[in-house]
Amino acid sequence: MSVKEVSKKDIYDLLKKITELVGPSGYEDDVRGVVKDFLSMSADNVYIDSMGNVIAVKKGSRGSGRIMLAGHMDEIGFFVSHIDDKGFIRILPIGGVFERALIFQRLLIKTREGKIFRGVIGLKPPHLAKPEEARQVPELRELFVDIGARSRDEVLKMGIKIGDVVVYDRDLVLLNEDRVTGKAIDDRVGVVTMIKAFELIEKNQADVYAVATVQEEVGLKGARTAAFSISPNAALALDVTIASDIPGVGEHEWYTQLGKGPAIKIADGRGATGLIANKEIVDKLIQVAQQLSIPYQIEVAAGGTTDASAIQLNREGVPAGVVSIPARYIHSPVEMIDLNDVANAIKLTKGFCELSDIEWLSRLKGYTIK
Ligand SMILES: [Zn+2]
């Protein structure tokens, strides 16, 4: 295997750059530009499809067979849905917004012209809240965004309109040499893992397609169409998974822990309705981790799912698995991961692409690749 390694600083720098961009589902433009530039540096070919997915291809030594990697560029967010006479803005969610995370957050609003403004989600002060109210989590429909404007006219003059997109305003910060917290780590960390692994892959027999997907948070949409056009022999989604190794959660519900290595997914979704990962891909990932001495965890997750679910059901079916990065506080502005898990997820992804030979990929797909 290659001796090249990715440092935690490399991972942090790229993660910081792309988590701080505004890129809710369907509006991934800023992220797409940066990701395309990075993938271009180590690809034989890069293109953007009609959905907006970035697809980078690295040719394999045996010129047949295709492995698809998928990491989603989009983040959860909001649309501006109403502007009132006093200049307060109402918003509606894009994806699985967690209402407990909303109160008193600072937000970024991006206009269609590309200007960015800040606002806050306000609420009446504790002095005015009735005791029962103070204990409740308000619904999004009761909340408003205050951008400091005094009237609707002022908001409109700034260029903010209904349909503009909104995300959390949060810098990525290092808490110590290993752990970082910020917004949109779901799933820009999957994108970083993919970019870095793609850069390092050099002994692949099959062609590797690195796909930075769009609209995952609103129904796994970009991955679906990309998988159709690529028609891979095997696919890996790279995404975060639940790490609830925190006070108040019993060990049986931790699912994964920070810093114990990337997780190899067995299944996800409620009642395993998300994905049941292809067993041979699970075995291959375990074998690669053992062979390369990469720490890993095995994951059966209670809820949520990833692009792998959509990819698996493409055409006649695609054997699919997931390399997960354990994350705390998913879908909040303070998502947290351990950079060692990312470094090891990069090694595992690269190892999978290099150690999946054409014969194995053929057998996996149930026919012989010519
Ligand atoms: Zn995700």
Q: So what's the pLDDT on residue 370?
A: 54
Ligand 1 centre and the CA of 88: distance in Å?
A: 31
Query: What amino acid occupies position 170?
Result: R
Instruction: Indicate the pLDDT class of residue 2, thresholds 50, 70 and 90.
Output: very low
Look at residue 186 and give its three-state secondary structure. Answer: helix
Res. 312: pLDDT tops 70: yes
Per-residue model confidence (pLDDT) at position 366: 73
Are the C-beta atoms of residues 300 and 241 closer than 8 Å to each other? no
pLDDT band at residue 127 using 50, 70 and 90 as cut-offs: confident
The rounded Å distance from CA 216 to ligand 1 centre is 7
Distance 26 CA to ligand 1 centre (A): 14
Fold of 77-168: Elongation Factor Tu (Ef-tu); domain 3 (2.40.30)
pLDDT tens digits, residue range 54-82?
999 999 999 789 999 999 999 999 999 99
Instruction: Give the distance (Å) from ligand 1 centre to CA of residue 2.
Output: 29
Mean pLDDT for the chain? 95
- The answer to whether the CB of 19 falls within 8 A of the CB of 342 is no
Look up residue 324 and give its DSSP letter. E
Res 293: pLDDT: 98
Q: Max CA-CA distance within the chain?
A: 73
The superfamily (CATH) of domain 8-75+183-365 is: Zn peptidases (3.40.630.10)
What digits encode the pLDDT tens for the residues 179-238? Answer: 999 999 999 999 999 999 999 999 999 999 999 999 999 999 999 999 999 999 999 999
DSSP state of 258: T
Catalytic positions, written as ranges: 216
Residue 300, H or E segment: strand 297-300
- Coil, strand, or helix at residue 53? coil
> Under 8 Å CB-to-CB from 28, ≥6 apart: which residues?
52, 73, 74, 214
pLDDT band at 369 (very low <50, low <70, confident <90, very high): low
**Given a cut of 60, is residue 3 above it in pLDDT?**
no
Q: Over the stretch 252-287, which tens digit does the pLDDT of each residue have?
A: 999 999 999 999 999 999 999 999 999 999 999 999
How open is the CA angle 173-293-321, to the nearest 5 degrees? 75
CA distance 4 to 201: 10
Helix/strand/coil for 34: helix
Give the model's pLDDT for residue 367. Answer: 62
Of 4, 101, 102, the residue nearest 350 (C-alpha): 4
| Cβ 339 vs Cβ 208: under 8 Å | no
Q: Is the pLDDT of residue 5 over 80?
A: no
Alpha helices in 173-218 (DSSP H): 185-200
Distance 159 CA to ligand 1 centre (A): 31
From the CA of 232, how far away is ligand 1's center (Å)?
21
The Cα–Cα gap between 278 and 283 comes to 9
Q: Report the pLDDT averaged over residues 305-317.
A: 96
CATH 3.40.630.10 maps onto the chain at: 8-75+183-365
The mean pLDDT of 309-330, rounded to a whole number, is 97
In the chain, CATH 2.40.30.40 sits at 77-168
Say whether pLDDT at 363 is over 70.
yes
CA–centroid distance, 17 to ligand 1, in Å, is 18
What burial class does residue 193 get, using C-beta atoms within 10 Å of its C-beta: 0-12 exposed, 13-18 middle, 19+ buried?
A: buried
pLDDT for position 1: 43
Q: 198-220 in b/e burial notation, b at 16+ Cβ within 10 A? A: bbbbeebbbbbbbbbbbbbbbeb
DSSP bridge partners of 107: 119, 168
